[in-house]
Amino acid sequence: MSAGTPREVIKVLIVDDIPDTRENIRKLLAFEADIQVVGMAGTGREAVKIATDTRPDVVLMDINMPDMDGITATKAISTAVRTAAVVIISVQSEPGYLRQAMLAGARDYLTKPIASEELYTTIRRVYERNEPIRQQEASLGAALGRPLDAAHKPVAEQATGAGHVIVVYSPQGGVGVTTVATNLAAALMRPDTRVLLIDCNLQFGDVDAFLNLQSQSSIADLTKVVSDIDRELIDNVLMTHGSGLRVLVAPSHPEHAYDITTEAMQAVIAACTPLYDYIVLDAPVQYDDLTLKLFEMAERIVLVAVPTIPSVRNTRKMLEIFDNLEKPAKLSDKIVFVLNRTVNEKERGRGTVPAESIAAHLKKEVALSIPLDERTVLTSVNQGVPLVAKQKSRSPGKELAELAELLRKSIEADEEPPQTAEQQAQRSKSGLRALFGGTG
């Protein structure tokens, strides 16, 4: 959150079986104007009930408790209330438990005794990191015309995925957005990673052609019925590529796109998001309300350009827009800049700009260059087989697979709690009084 913006109030639920500990934490939090304790629970079961009723933003969770332990409760809460970030509070470093807690969906941990400053910064940090999830839920709620509360969560209650949204975009057509999106989605797939690719080019989407899918249904079958979307309907509308990749294709005729509103698109994406680990969006070329909403929903924006002057000029204009837009978090922080159709120095003709000059001109690091190879790319499209599935060790399949790894790692890094002793030490500022728990 930028300086000067009034802080939103962060709703916190405290879970610990020892009444004194709960009370100590509550007192500590009472000093902070932007933190409000909305509930306290003494058991895991009670925590799940209160969390579903009050929908806290942050849950401070003890591990060892009677009836339901903190890890089981973390799993239940992370699934039922996606906007709730669970912070584990453990007695001492218990690496085994912590790992289990992280796998159950916890976003961070604190070790007793906890310093007040560390508690506040952790709460604020996990809250800020959950902004994209809050945006998604708000979009779904807005599109459904009601809040996505405990009484009505047709899709979220069946959530199973990590819900990372990646949008692939270029302000200029024909530069390789669909090539990157299809390959990225295919490369992110693993036996334990569920991926969904959504074609957001409503009028002239061609993801189905790239993947050789003969589709009977399309995204229009969901946008028409946003208030009735459930998992079964989504499953029926999605196509499955031979590789196992799930795909939501664009309408087969441009006129079917006329009535699709931005709100309906947001609702559909938000409904699909909790069911998948990665959701890759092939975004349309224009800069309008829909693309802006897609950027807001995304954790990463893969901005694709080619090394030509028109593409670089348009990219520059877009980067200026990203720099100036501040909602919800600075959009420019999410950008992964990719240069497609690059050629080596020998083959470079007039009108092709070297990658280094582009990076310098745009003041934006090129995360990855994908070489030009007309034949290989066209063959892959004609066969409907992504390059990363067929030729992962050869350019340009190699670079496309690298892009997927780069994104996976950077998204995972965002989620990881500090690992090393130095990072821990940095967080708990020296000299701060240990406030509760004593030696644990």
Ligand X SMILES: Nc1ncnc2c1ncn2[C@@H]1O[C@H](COP(=O)(O)OP(=O)(O)OP(=O)(O)O)[C@@H](O)[C@H]1O
Least Cβ distance, residue 219 to ligand X (angstroms): 16
Interface residue with ligand X among 122, 178, 215, 391 (CB under 6 A) is 178
Residues 289-318 that bind ligand X (CB under 6 A): none
Measured from the CB atom, the residue of 91 and 343 that comes closer to ligand X is 343
Which does residue 176 touch among Mg ion, ligand X, none (CB within 5 to 8 A, set by kind)?
ligand X
Residues 196-255 that bind ligand X (CB under 6 A): 201
Structure tokens at 137: 């839920």
Which does residue 170 touch among Mg ion, ligand X, none (CB within 5 to 8 A, set by kind)?
ligand X
Measured from the CB atom, the residue of 209 and 425 that comes closer to ligand X is 209
Residue 341 contacts ligand X per CB under 6 A: yes
Q: Which region, judged by CB under 6 A, interacts with ligand X, from 314-322, 326-334, 343-351, 374-382?
A: 374-382
SS (H, E, C) the chain: CCCCCCCCCEEEEEECCCHHHHHHHHHHHHCCCCEEEEEEECCHHHHHHHHHHHCCCEEEEECCCCCCCHHHHHHHHHHHCCCCEEEEEECCCCHHHHHHHHHCCCCEEEECCCEHHHHHHHHHHHHHHCHHHHHHHHHHHHHHCCCCCCCCCCCHHHCCCCCEEEEEECCCCCCCHHHHHHHHHHHHCECCECEEEEECCCCCCCHHHHCCCCCCCCCHHHHCCHHHCCHHHHHHHCEECCCCCEEECCCCCHHHHCCCCHHHHHHHHHHHHHHCCEEEEECCCCCCHHHHHHHHHCCEEEEEECCEHHHHHHHHHHHHHHHHCCCCCCHHHHEEEEEEEECCHHHCCCCECCHHHHHHHHCCCCCEEEECCHHHHHHHHHHCCCHHHHCCCCCCHHHHHHHHHHHHHHHHHHHCCCCCHHHHHHHCCCCCCECCCCCC
Residue 386 contacts ligand X per CB under 6 A: no
Q: Which stretches of the chain bind Mg ion, using CB under 5 A?
A: 177-178
Which does residue 377 touch among Mg ion, ligand X, none (CB within 5 to 8 A, set by kind)?
ligand X
In this structure, the number of other CB atoms found within 10 A of the CB of residue 414 comes to 11
Residue 378 contacts ligand X per CB under 6 A: yes
Residue (of 109, 104, 116, 105) closest to 92 by Cα position: 109
Q: Which residues pair with 169 in a beta bridge?
A: 303
Interface residue with ligand X among 232, 365, 374, 422 (CB under 6 A) is 374
In a 13 Å sphere around the CA of 199, the CA atoms on its Cβ side amount to 30
Q: Which residue is nearest to Mg ion (CB)?
A: 178
Which does residue 83 touch among ligand X, Mg ion, none (CB within 5 to 8 A, set by kind)?
none
Residue 377 contacts ligand X per CB under 6 A: yes
Q: Going residue by residue from 112 to 151, which x/- string records binding to ligand X, judged by CB under 6 A? A: ----------------------------------------
Measured from the CB atom, the residue of 19 and 173 that comes closer to ligand X is 173
CB 96 within 8 A of CB 419: no
Measured from the CB atom, the residue of 37 and 260 that comes closer to ligand X is 260
Least Cβ distance, residue 352 to ligand X (angstroms): 13
Least Cβ distance, residue 354 to ligand X (angstroms): 17
Least Cβ distance, residue 190 to ligand X (angstroms): 24
Q: Which region, judged by CB under 6 A, interacts with ligand X, from 127-135, 172-180, 219-227, 424-432?
A: 172-180
Least Cβ distance, residue 178 to Mg ion (angstroms): 3
Least Cβ distance, residue 407 to Mg ion (angstroms): 19
Q: Which residue is nearest to ligand X (CB)?
A: 173
Interface residue with ligand X among 16, 57, 118, 373 (CB under 6 A) is 373
Interface residue with ligand X among 52, 78, 291, 340 (CB under 6 A) is 340
Interface residue with ligand X among 42, 105, 132, 176 (CB under 6 A) is 176
Interface residue with ligand X among 47, 381, 403, 404 (CB under 6 A) is 381
Least Cβ distance, residue 53 to ligand X (angstroms): 45
Measured from the CB atom, the residue of 174 and 354 that comes closer to ligand X is 174
DSSP string across 28-93: HHHT-TTEEEEEEESSHHHHHHHHHHH--SEEEEES--SSS-HHHHHHHHHHH-TTPEEEEEESS-
Q: How far apart are CA 141 and CA 130, in angstroms?
A: 17
Interface residue with ligand X among 28, 48, 73, 177 (CB under 6 A) is 177
Least Cβ distance, residue 120 to ligand X (angstroms): 45
Binding residues for ligand X (CB under 6 A): 170, 173-179, 201, 285, 340-341, 370, 372-374, 377-378, 381, 396
